[in-house]
A and B are shown apart, each in its own frame.
Chain A
Amino acid sequence: MVFLQLFLNGLQLGAIYALTAVGFSLIFGSTKIFHVAHGSAFAISGYIYWWLASQLDVAWPVATLAAVLAAAAFGLLMERFIYRPIQRHEASFFTVFIAAFGVSLVIQNLIGSVAGRGMETVTTPLSRSVEIMDGLFVAPISAISIGVAILVFTALSYFLGRTHVGIAMRALSENPDLVRVFGLDPGRVAQWAFVIGSAVVVPGAIFTAMTAGLNPAIGTHVMLVSLAATIVGGIGSVRGAACGGMLLGLAENLAYWKLDPQWSEAVTFVVLFAFIIFRPSGFFGTPTAAR
């Protein structure tokens, strides 16, 4: 029963990680920008939702919309004012990494000084657990978060497979030069990737606010996990990132079965290292020849 309980909790956490990892993977896949500040979109949208829904009593659809807009705007601004100027000067991966890391620190501290450094949660009846079987507690929010994750992935695959912008994003991930030859502006396509990749973290951020709660450093934690999930899933594969996120969420919770809670983050990295050693190309990645 404990195992089943942990498994269910793991599914819920996995759904949240999967959503975040997919956003990162989408951005990295199509633009090749290592968007370390991706976790900040999570933190910003989570706090916007918390502030509107629980401090100002705004209706949840409005608060959700505001959170989506905030995350998308953050992604767009990062592309426009941080990554694009750096890339224009043909700067290295390292410059991009440090710049993004710096931004995420600034965001973390801004959130801390505005909202306080403590834990904040949005209280909702949805997160109240019900005993559905002897010793098995489930909150409606678990089912909702898994359902929403499935919904978002379905919408995303429709978007990538059927819409012009989605096809252009896949094209950009394969060959930016050829995208220009087609007469498209790769910068414009990259902006779409940032907007959509940032917006898909919002459900995860809201569910986190409703369950485990938010703290200013949440972005860093989420970023590490989605990075690990992206590598586990195979870099550049959106489907892989979703599976990777789910696997890490499950692993983190199932670890409680035998280990103390402080080991949960370590488990994430054990899974990551296992993949790096035994299957470095991840679930769906194509193995690259040694250089």
Chain B
Amino acid sequence: MTTAPVLSAQSLVVGYGGRPVLSRVSIEVRAGEVLCVIGHNGAGKSTLMRALFGLTRPVSGTIQVDGKELAHHVPRVLAAHGIALMPEGRGIFPGLTVAEIFDLALWSGNIAEGERAARIDWVLSLLPPIKAFYGKRAGFLSGGQQQMVSIGRTLLSQPRCLMLDEPSIGLAPKLFQDLLQPIRALQRKTNMAVILVEQNVREALKISDRVVVMKAGQVILDTVPGELSDNARLMELY
């Protein structure tokens, strides 16, 4: 055992109104690792992401950042620790322009005033298509453009750990690869940890180092993508 995982959880139980959505889920992600979380609709993937990011309070269980529990496990503090979440669905404000969304992200991320322009340039260099619609209202953009803005927004803080909740929703597979390849390249370069929740299993496994399969609120398998590459195994799990 070398260093502590960037983000980890033990025996996490989360329930909405008494019904457990997650029952005793343990998970961890280390620096430089892309962890893919797959499973059916309702398996608890998004709930797990929300709990890890402090948006949903667990009934029991513990969550650590760098091996230590936080005094206040809320998004604001997680963001300050270099963790960013791209939420499920539209992670943008339709009435705000892309420029305003980035501005808000830089401000909420406490990025120094002098460094903000450089951060924006950096994200635009990673996701160059954004330049074309930088001044437009996000609500007028296509689904793919909105997802790109949403991912770009999470990158502005240069996170150590990036959580992506179904970035492929509503995207053609080709677009999905266009979106994920720059993330993978960046992740290799910066040693960032990534948790990727996906329905589009085949595409997601291509860029993952480890895969966790969830079913009915539990982790039923923790393995490497190679193990799942043969179809029979994947079908069996579903």
Contacts and interface: CB of A to CB of B under 8 A. Distances in A.
B175 interface: no
Interface of A: 164, 167-168, 170-171, 173-175, 177-178, 180-185
A181 B96 contact: no
Contacts of A167: 96, 100, 103-104, 107
B183 interface: no
Given A171-B104, A178-B93, A185 B87 contact: no
B93 A183 contact: no
A182 B55 contact: no
A164 B91 contact: no
A175 B108 contact: no
Interface of B: 53, 55, 74-76, 78-80, 85, 87, 91-96, 100, 103-105, 107-109, 153
A173 B100 CA distance: 15
A184 B95 contact: no
Contact of A183 (B91, B94, B103, B108): B108
Contacts of A164: 103-104, 107
Given A181-B75, A183-B109, A184-B76, A174 B104 contact: no
B103 A184 contact: no
A182 B94 contact: no
| Pairs A-B, 3 closest by C-beta atoms | A183-B79, A164-B107, A184-B108
Nearest to A161: B100
A181 B76 contact: no
18 contacts: A164-B103, A167-B96, A167-B100, A168-B108, A171-B93, A171-B96, A171-B104, A174-B96, A177-B55, A180-B55, A180-B75, A180-B76, A182-B105, A182-B108, A182-B153, A183-B79, A184-B104, A184-B108
A181 B103 contact: no
A39 to B, nearest CB: 28
Contacts of B87: 177-178, 181
The winner among B75, B92, B105 for most chain A CB atoms within 10 A is: B75
Nearest to B55: A180
Given A173-B95, A182-B105, A182-B108, 13 more contacts: A164-B103, A167-B107, A168-B108, A170-B100, A174-B93, A174-B94, A174-B96, A180-B74, A180-B75, A181-B55, A181-B87, A183-B75, A184-B104
Contacts of A183: 75-76, 78-80, 108-109
Contacts of B79: 182-183
A183 B74 CA distance: 8
A170 B92 CA distance: 12
Contacts of A180: 55, 74-76
Contacts of B109: 183
A183 B53 CA distance: 10
A164 B103 CA distance: 7
A177 B78 CA distance: 15
A139 B107 CA distance: 46
A251 to B, nearest CB: 30
A184 B153 CA distance: 14
A182 B107 CA distance: 10
Contacts of B78: 183
Nearest to B86: A181
Contacts of A178: 87, 91-93
Contacts of B153: 182
Contact of B96 (A170, A184, A185): A170
A185 B80 CA distance: 13
Contacts of A173: 95
A150 B5 CA distance: 56
A170 B93 contact: yes
A134 to B, nearest CB: 50
